[in-house]
Amino acid sequence: MSNIAVTDTAMPSTAAKPFLTRLGAGFVNRLVIIVPYLWLLFFFLIPFVIVFKISLSQTAIAMPPYTPVLDFKGGVSGFFAGFRNLNFDNYVWLTQDALYFKAYVTSVIIAAISTLLTLIVGYPIAYGMSRAPATIRPTLLMLVILPFWTSFLIRVYAWIGILKPEGLLNQLLLSLHIINQPLVILNTYTAIFIGIVYSYLPFMVLPLYSSLEKMDYSLIEAAKDLGCPPTSAFWKITFPLSVPGVIAGCLLVFIPAVGEFVIPDLLGGSSTLMIGKTLWNEFFANRDWPVSSAVAVILLLLLTVPIMLFQQAQAKAQEQDK
């Protein structure tokens, strides 16, 4: 009986709902999804296709500095005729010159070491923040973000002043008689590590903080109660539960660090070899757009494929957990 009564009253209300309103709601819903995808299409996918196309072209002394240039002057058939001149020569070239391979490998290694260092520095900061009294947490959070208010370039330049032989660090160490002669840090890989750790620290701290902050402290108490000393409780409870934050932070540091150009250029000097610098040289020193485009495409693949595989594995693990 009561069921009938419910449907009786519900029926007219749905029927009375204006058709346009329902259409409108669906349209707004779709628009919300469409807009970001359009954004990605115009500002990521299309530029990428253009870069990929350039990587298949040949260098030329012209404007722009490569052939063939695709245009519609020769009609549709002329446009497609241009495709026949595209080939993978530039990619073959990348495998022939050991410079590129070495640059990729060094970049990945430097990025990996820097990511690890950032994690080691960032974890205690994030942990301390998450255990700080709730009243001062917003302040601590703001202090982490504060460096972003100054230009990235200026901050990296400032490090030159600190690290150079007659810089602040060496002056301090000399005046304290810890060292007798200035340390050579600038223009070495150490300087690159310092630069990357410093610049990317917030990207590590923020996701770590968010995963540590929502952790229930009674879990640690429960572990202690069951006979687990504090250090062991950290490795058995706190760290495993913060793994999503660790992964997010590491990806946020590792990905941009691999292609980093400014830091190795300013702090690493001329002898350091990283793929971002190689890319820049190809573009601006050699004006070889096709080869540098090929370098960029390979770099992108190098970074996205492992991440995609990783995400797939994670999704599968989550599926099994349900």
223 near other proteins (CB under 8 A): yes
224 near other proteins (CB under 8 A): yes
Instruction: Give the shortest CB-223-to-other proteins separation in angstroms.
Output: 7
Instruction: Give the shortest CB-59-to-other proteins separation in angstroms.
Output: 54
Nearest to 120 by CA among 10, 278, 288, 250: 250
Per DSSP, the three-state class of 143 is helix
> Both ends of the chain: CA-CA distance in Å?
38
Considering only residues 25, 143, 219, 301, which one is a binding residue for other proteins as defined by CB under 8 A?
Answer: 219
Q: Torsion-angle region of residue 269: left (phi > 0), alpha (psi -120 to 50) or beta?
A: left
**Torsions phi, psi for 271 (to 5 deg):** -80, -20
Q: What pairs with residue 227 in β-bridges?
A: none
317 near other proteins (CB under 8 A): no
How many other C-beta atoms can be found within 10 angstroms of the C-beta atom of residue 182?
16
- CA atoms of 167 and 194, how far apart (whole Å): 15
- The stretch near other proteins (CB under 8 A) out of 116-124, 178-186, 198-206, 213-221 is 213-221
Q: Torsion-angle region of residue 229: left (phi > 0), alpha (psi -120 to 50) or beta?
A: beta
237 near other proteins (CB under 8 A): yes
**Torsions phi, psi for 84 (to 5 deg):** -65, -25
Taking each helix axis from N to C end, the angle separating 137-145 and 189-213, rounded to the nearest 10 degrees, works out to 150
Nearer to other proteins, 94 or 237 (CB): 237
Instruction: Give the shortest CB-209-to-other proteins separation in angstroms.
Output: 19
Nearer to other proteins, 51 or 228 (CB): 228
241 near other proteins (CB under 8 A): yes
322 near other proteins (CB under 8 A): yes
Q: How many of the chain's residues bind other proteins (CB under 8 A)?
A: 19
At a CB cut-off of 8 Å and minimum separation 6, what does 212 contact?
Answer: 126, 127, 129, 130, 238, 242, 245
Instruction: Give the shortest CB-321-to-other proteins separation in angstroms.
Output: 6
Considering only residues 1, 16, 32, 226, which one is a binding residue for other proteins as defined by CB under 8 A?
Answer: 226
240 near other proteins (CB under 8 A): yes
For the segment 89-108, give every residue that binds other proteins (CB under 8 A). Answer: none
Instruction: Give the shortest CB-227-to-other proteins separation in angstroms.
Output: 4
Instruction: Give the shortest CB-286-to-other proteins separation in angstroms.
Output: 51
216 near other proteins (CB under 8 A): yes
Q: What pairs with residue 58 in β-bridges?
A: 67
Considering only residues 12, 36, 75, 227, which one is a binding residue for other proteins as defined by CB under 8 A?
Answer: 227
222 near other proteins (CB under 8 A): yes
Structure tokens at 37: 């995808």
Contact 192, 114 (CB under 8 A): yes
Per DSSP, the three-state class of 59 is strand
Residues that bind other proteins (CB under 8 A): 216, 218-219, 221-229, 232, 236-237, 240-241, 321-322
